[in-house]
């Protein structure tokens, strides 16, 4: 379930379904009047949709700093009151709003029902204060765990209080840092981290960590781990001892970490706050002992390995506690991710980046800094403070106007049939892209292919200038990328059958592009858009 802004093109393409929506409460005197009002709100940027399975909940709201003022609610057929209000409240919890305000006159039945749901009538407005009991789930993922520190930074800025943490592997280590409550300490640790500060391994000295150096480091890593039956984590123990205040962890919010007992291969969940100071670091190391690359942990003559072997994203552990919402941070570590189903009244904020976060075992301070910033920006976007699909833009960035300008540029050159084109757009981008945000989707397409780094906030003009600058640059491999990423990038950048190369070939054609449009409609539109941004001056926003 996710709250998304609705655009006019969305409603027009689903007009029949929209016309079947019904007024949930008497914000207006009739269903038709409510639909007309919602359509007007959409045109002025105030319409949102909550999708639940095949059902819709359409919301016209004013977004105040700490609450939503609800002016209209429309539901698709067969969506009941109870479910609709759960969806509304869960959507507000995803954005960590403090209250919901609804203004309408309720009859005695609706009045009693609202009171039973915790709403109070004050000055003609039905109001409900939302009470939060927030859980945080931190998945395993080795060096990719820096992303989770960026998530924490964004949560701190929003003053979001975490009441319980469940973590596996690097998620357990970051969980301990978060329970301790010292962000600067955690940032210092991750920004200075290197592989030899985590594992007892020595790499050959190099002037720069380029592709060949990374390959050599991986060979050394694999060879050493095989020779030693797992590399010792004694440096990590010393690092944790230097950065953790164990008494703060004992008295902080509940932290549960997952490890795997061997040879039984049994999941073990440890309540860290109940452990003695001497045991805390032992269990954190046991949770993150990714055997055979890392040595097993031995506690009281029992051996343990990484918790990811049994439960890499411990949502079920967090749900053993009375939570009203879960922030789930998945950094794509190897292991078993259990299927889970949240109770109806528990909201979910899932943070799982579409970007690669690098190698699991090679810790690099520069890459950690990038991943921290990426986690920070993606969390801010999820909370509604930024916009974009893969990249990040300020809230006031007007892609609707940019799209209108592009369509005016296109009008004398091509006639578009949006009924045919709209499904092609969704298929090409593998997500819902409203016509109004065509320029945003197109710009992000080009930015991805010319390797614009994602971890910064752009204005539209800055983004266009950056894309055009990267187009002129020769392809160079980013040495902060892992070996696998560099190989994939090398292959991808030379794939002459890719959509990107097809777009470039089309835009270089002379004469009419209509024949190409009939065969490759989206690629041809992208070619026109590329011409448009090259021909148009974008000196300011």
Active-site residues, by number, are 169, 306
**Which residues make beta-bridge pairs with 56?**
51
For residue 335, the number of C-alpha atoms closer than 13 Å in the C-beta half-sphere is: 34
Instruction: Provide, for the chain, the percentages of residues in helix, strand and coil under a 3-state DSSP scheme, each rounded to the nearest 5.
Output: 45, 15, 35
Backbone CA torsion sign across 54, 60, 63, 64: negative
Grouping H, G, I as helix, E, B as strand and the rest as coil, residue 378 is helix
Task: Report how far residue 447's alpha carbon sits from residue 533's, in angstroms, rounded to the nearest whole number.
Answer: 13
Cα angle vertex 299, ends 297, 300, to 5°? Answer: 150
Decide the pairing of beta strands 125-129 and 99-102: antiparallel
Q: 359 phi and psi, to 5 degrees?
A: -75, 150
- 3-state secondary structure at position 58: strand
Work out the number of other CB atoms within 10 angstroms of the CB of residue 118: 14
Distance CA 328, CA 135 (A): 8
DSSP letter for 242, please: H
**52's torsion region: left (phi>0), alpha (psi -120 to 50) or beta?**
beta
Of 165, 163, 170, 131, which is closest to residue 147 (Cα–Cα)?
170
Measured CA to CA, the distance from residue 10 to residue 315 in angstroms comes to 34
Please give the helix or strand (H or E) that residue 487 lies within, else none: helix 483-493
Question: DSSP string spanning 243-272?
Answer: H--HHHHHHSS-EEEEEEEETTTEEEEEEG
Written in H, E and C, the secondary structure of 134-152 is EEEEECCCHHHHHHHHHHH
> Peptide bond before 108: cis, by omega within 30 degrees of 0?
no
Q: Is 181 left (phi over 0), alpha (psi -120 to 50) or beta?
A: left
* Helix, strand, or coil (residue 169): coil
How far is Cα 482 from Cα 20, in angstroms, rounded to an integer?
51
Q: Return the sign of the alpha-carbon dihedral for residues 72, 77, 80, 86.
A: negative
Note the helical H segments in 44-121: 81-94, 108-116
**Distance, first Cα to last Cα, the chain:** 33
CA 211 to chain centre: 29
Which residue is it, tokens 């809230």? 395
What is the pairing mode between strands 67-75 and 55-63?
Answer: antiparallel
């Amino acid at each position: 379930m996710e709250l998304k802004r609705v655009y006019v093109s969305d409603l027009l393409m689903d007009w029949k379904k929209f016309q079947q929506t019904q007024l949930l409460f008497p914000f207006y005197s009739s269903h038709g009047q409510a639909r007309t009002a919602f359509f007007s709100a959409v045109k002025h940027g105030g319409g949102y949709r909550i999708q639940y399975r095949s059902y819709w909940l359409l919301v016209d709201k004013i977004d105040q700093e700490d609450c939503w003022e609800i002016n209209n609610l429309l539901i698709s057929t067969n969506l009941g009151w109870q479910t609709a209000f759960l969806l509304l409240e869960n959507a507000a919890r995803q954005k960590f709003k403090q209250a919901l305000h609804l203004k309408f006159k309720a009859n005695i039945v609706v009045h009693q029902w609202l009171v039973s749901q915790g709403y109070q009538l004050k000055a003609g407005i039905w109001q409900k204060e939302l009470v939060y009991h927030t859980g945080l789930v931190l998945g395993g993922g080795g060096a990719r765990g820096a992303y989770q520190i960026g998530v924490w930074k964004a949560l701190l800025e929003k003053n979001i209080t975490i009441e319980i943490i469940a973590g596996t592997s690097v998620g357990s280590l970051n969980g301990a840092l978060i329970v301790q409550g010292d962000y600067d300490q955690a940032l210092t640790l991750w920004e200075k981290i290197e592989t030899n500060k985590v594992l007892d391994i020595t790499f050959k000295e190099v002037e720069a960590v380029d592709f060949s150096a990374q390959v050599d480091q991986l060979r050394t890593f694999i060879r050493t781990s095989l020779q030693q039956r797992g590399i010792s984590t004694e440096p990590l123990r010393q690092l944790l001892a230097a950065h953790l205040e164990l008494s703060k962890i004992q008295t902080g919010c509940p932290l549960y970490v997952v490890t795997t007992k061997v040879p039984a291969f049994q999941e073990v969940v440890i309540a860290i706050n109940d452990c003695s100071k001497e045991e805390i670091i032992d269990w954190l190391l046991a949770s993150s002992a990714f055997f055979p690359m890392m040595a097993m942990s031995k506690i009281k003559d029992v051996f343990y390995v990484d918790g990811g072997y049994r439960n890499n994203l411990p949502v079920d552990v967090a749900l053993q506690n009375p939570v009203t919402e879960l922030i789930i941070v998945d950094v794509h570590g190897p292991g078993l991710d259990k299927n889970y189903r949240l109770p109806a009244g528990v909201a979910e904020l899932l943070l799982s980046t579409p970007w690669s976060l690098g190698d699991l075992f090679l810790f690099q301070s520069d890459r950690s800094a990038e991943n921290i910033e990426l986690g920070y920006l993606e969390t801010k976007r999820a909370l509604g403070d930024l916009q974009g699909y893969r990249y990040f833009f300020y809230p006031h960035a007007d892609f609707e106007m940019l799209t209108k300008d592009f369509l005016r540029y296109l009008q004398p050159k091509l006639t578009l049939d949006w009924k045919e084109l709209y499904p092609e757009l969704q298929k090409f981008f593998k997500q819902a892209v409203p016509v109004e945000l065509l320029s945003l989707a197109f710009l992000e397409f080009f930015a991805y292919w010319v390797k614009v780094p994602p971890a910064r906030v752009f204005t539209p003009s800055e983004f266009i200038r950056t894309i055009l600058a990267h187009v002129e640059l020769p392809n160079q491999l980013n040495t902060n990328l892992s070996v696998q990423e560099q190989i994939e990038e090398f292959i991808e950048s030379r794939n002459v059958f890719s959509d990107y190369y097809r777009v470039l070939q089309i835009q270089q054609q002379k004469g009419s592009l209509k024949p190409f449009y009939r065969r490759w409609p989206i690629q041809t539109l992208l070619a026109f858009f590329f011409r448009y941004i090259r021909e148009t001056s974008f000196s300011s926003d």
